[in-house]
């Protein structure tokens, strides 16, 4: 069923559940409900995986630093979900060796007890002993799941032998394993397509927004035509991430659930740094305890991230101050490798949909997830608050269980071991930058592409990896346009739109 056919069907058929938001949490819930035979419609006002889910650091991780906040349940769940992702989506999630350069032995030893007592708002640098204790717990959470090896500690001599460009001031390195999500955008899309394969009862529409609720009717707007239409769902699941409160306001609910924080990343074309890190992510802390990561992304290096409270999720961009900070941080760990602004091929920023809290330090806000229930007229509304990319499946399961209970339906299947998309068959071909026309035609036919930027930013990694130039954008518009039936003007407009988005949001000038 294509987009127009789905829209047509909605004129005479109302789904039981309406999910607002095609980020990872909305899509995960969509897949779980679809698998359990529930009549469900998912809408996103933009493309799938274009909000917080596209801005993540691409780590499938337990979040070792949350142990210090005493969040053992959260870390244990995320570690288990990390393992499941590596097993269920092996073509898109790979084990990621992660190395922590350590500059002190005992520093940070009293952070955890002080935090428990409420006497420490701002974390400091952690030393070798604290990191060792954390990694012992972390390994214990992995348990017997054979997905990743246990951590190792190297002294200064061994560390410098392994990573000769590393700052000689280090005293140890610790290496443990997390997961690398090669393309969060493609993984999300695979989940959408898997869900739709369950049957006609599950349909997802991008570029359709939630406009309001009137009595039993929800009003949706087709963002491509500006036409509105109504459906009568029994249940609404608000998975609008950083826009949860905004969406609730649209439907008449005055909520203040989200305390958004911004995070940015750079993608660098720096072969020296890429060689120095090998296949390892380098994960470390600034002197004030803020986390920094240097990450191998194909032949490029990704650097992140910041954690800054913001008001408006639509206006975030990677600023020059953040760029200065990231460059300075690389210098702390690899002091003799030169990083310059000219090496930046892509920048991106996004907003974490964290729970609203009074905590002053953004890094300390819990990454836990929970569901808030409200009523809009007769319709219950579940808002999916917080969470991490890594634990989307568990969060979706929680939301699905609640929806099934409300609809008085039994759970028929779960998603714990369910392969995702290409899954077990490991078809990674689409991650390579050199596409044939046939591949683009196949994506146009089967992957819900509406705009050229959907192809450049989310169905492929060409933009992230700095592989675009103007003539390639024009050629891709031409090929995609032929497959989607665009005329010459539409192809030109799409090029202008894509180049505008690349310049505005990612500071890529073509």
Ligand X SMILES: Cc1cc2nc3c(=O)[nH]c(=O)nc-3n(C[C@H](O)[C@H](O)[C@H](O)COP(=O)(O)OP(=O)(O)OC[C@H]3O[C@@H](n4cnc5c(N)ncnc54)[C@H](O)[C@@H]3O)c2cc1C
Q: Which of residues 369-388 bind ligand X (CB under 6 A)?
A: 387-388
62, two tokens: 């337990």
The mark string for 315-354 relative to ligand X (x by CB under 6 A, - otherwise) is -----------------------------------xxxx-
260 is an interface residue for ligand X by CB under 6 A: no
92 sits near ligand X (criterion: CB under 6 A): no
- Return the CA Rg of the chain: 23
Taking residues 29 to 58 in sequence order and writing x for each that binds ligand X by CB under 6 A, - otherwise, the string is: --------------xxxx---xxxx-xxxx
Q: Does 289 bind ligand X (CB under 6 A)?
A: no
- Asked, as a colleague might, if the bond just before 305 is cis with ω within 30 of 0, I would say yes
Give CA 408 to chain center in angstroms: 32
- Strand 281-285 and strand 291-297: the pairing is antiparallel
How far lies 53's CA from each of 353, 400, 443, in Å?
10, 20, 21
Q: Minimum distance from CB of 350 to ligand X (Å)?
A: 4
Is residue 240 part of the contact set for ligand X (CB under 6 A)?
yes
Residue with tokens 């077990």: 424
Q: Which of 10, 18, 34, 59 binds ligand X (CB under 6 A)?
A: 59
Backbone angles phi, psi at 83, to 5 degrees: -60, -40
Q: Does 368 bind ligand X (CB under 6 A)?
A: no
Residue 210 DSSP SS3: strand
Give the binding-site size for ligand X (rule: CB under 6 A): 40
386: helix, coil or strand? strand
CA pair distance 181, 183, nearest whole angstrom: 6
Per CB under 6 A, 239 contacts ligand X: yes
- Provide, rounded to whole angstroms, the least separation between the CB of residue 220 and ligand X: 8
CB 483 within 8 A of CB 490: no
Smaller CB separation from ligand X, 59 or 174: 59
User: Does 242 participate in binding ligand X (rule CB under 6 A)?
Assistant: yes
| Contacting ligand X within 169-228 (CB under 6 A) | 209-210
Tokens of 127: 């030393």
CA distances (Å), origin 498, targets 55, 273, 316, 395 = 18, 30, 18, 33
Task: Supply the minimum distance, in Å, between the C-beta of residue 284 and ligand X.
Answer: 15
3-state secondary structure of 236: strand
Q: Give the shortest CB-87-to-ligand X separation in angstroms.
A: 17
Among 21, 101, 108, 134, interactor with ligand X by CB under 6 A: 21
Would you say 53 or 99 has its CB closer to ligand X? 53
CB closer to ligand X out of 171 and 371: 371
CB atoms within 10 A of CB 490: 14
Residues making contact with ligand X (CB under 6 A): 20-26, 43-46, 50-53, 55-59, 61, 209-210, 239-243, 247, 250, 263, 305, 350-353, 387-390
């Amino acid at each position: 069923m294509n987009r127009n056919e789905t829209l047509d069907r909605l004129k005479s058929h109302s789904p039981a559940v309406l999910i607002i938001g095609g980020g990872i949490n909305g899509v995960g819930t969509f897949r779980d409900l679809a698998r359990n035979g529930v009549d469900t419609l998912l809408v996103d006002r933009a493309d799938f995986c274009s909000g917080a889910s596209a801005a993540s650091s691409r780590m499938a991780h337990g979040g070792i630093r949350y142990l210090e906040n005493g969040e053992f349940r959260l870390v244990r769940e995320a570690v288990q979900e990390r393992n499941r992702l590596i097993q269920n989506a092996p073509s898109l999630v790979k084990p990621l060796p992660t190395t922590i350069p350590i500059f002190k032995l005992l520093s940070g030893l009293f952070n955890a007890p002080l935090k428990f007592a409420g006497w420490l708002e701002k974390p400091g640098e952690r030393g070798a002993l604290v990191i060792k204790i954390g990694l012992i717990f972390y390994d214990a959470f992995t348990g017997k799941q054979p997905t990743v090896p246990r951590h190792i500690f190297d002294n200064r001599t061994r560390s410098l032998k392994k990573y000769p460009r590393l700052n000689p001031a280090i005293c140890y390195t610790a290496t443990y394993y997390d997961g690398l999500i090669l393309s969060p955008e493609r993984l999300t899309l695979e989940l959408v397509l898997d869900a739709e394969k369950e049957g006609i009862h599950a349909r997802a529409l991008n570029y359709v927004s939630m406009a309001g609720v009137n009595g039993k009717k929800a009003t949706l707007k087709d963002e491509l035509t500006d036409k509105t239409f109504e459906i009568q769902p029994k249940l609404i699941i608000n998975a609008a991430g950083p826009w949860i409160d905004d969406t609730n306001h649209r439907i008449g609910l005055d909520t203040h659930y989200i305390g958004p924080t911004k995070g940015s990343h750079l993608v660098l074309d720096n072969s020296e740094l890429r060689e120095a890190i090998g296949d390892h992510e380098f994960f470390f802390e600034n002197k004030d305890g803020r986390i920094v990561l240097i990450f191998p992304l194909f032949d490029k290096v990704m650097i992140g991230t910041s954690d800054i409270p913001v008001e408006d999720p639509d206006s975030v961009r990677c600023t020059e101050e953040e760029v200065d900070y990231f460059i300075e941080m690389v210098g702390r760990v690899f002091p003799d490798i030169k990083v310059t602004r000219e090496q930046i091929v892509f920048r991106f920023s996004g907003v974490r949909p964290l729970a609203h809290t009074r905590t002053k330090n953004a890094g300390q806000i819990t990454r836990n997830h929970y569901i808030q229930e409200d009523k809009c007229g007769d319709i219950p509304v579940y808002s999916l608050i917080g969470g991490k990319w890594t634990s989307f499946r568990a969060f979706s399961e929680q939301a699905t269980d609640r929806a099934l209970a409300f609809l008085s339906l039994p759970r028929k299947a779960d998603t714990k071991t369910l392969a995702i998309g290409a899954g077990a068959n490991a078809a990674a071909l689409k991650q390579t930058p050199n596409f044939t026309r046939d591949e683009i035609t196949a994506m146009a036919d089967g992957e819900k592409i509406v705009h050229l930027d959907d192809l450049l930013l989310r169905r492929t990694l060409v933009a992230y990896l700095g592989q675009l130039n103007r003539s390639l954008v024009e050629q891709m518009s031409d090929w995609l346009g032929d497959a989607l039936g665009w005329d010459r003007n539409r192809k030109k407009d799409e090029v202008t739109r894509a180049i505008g988005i690349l310049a505005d949001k990612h500071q890529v000038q073509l």
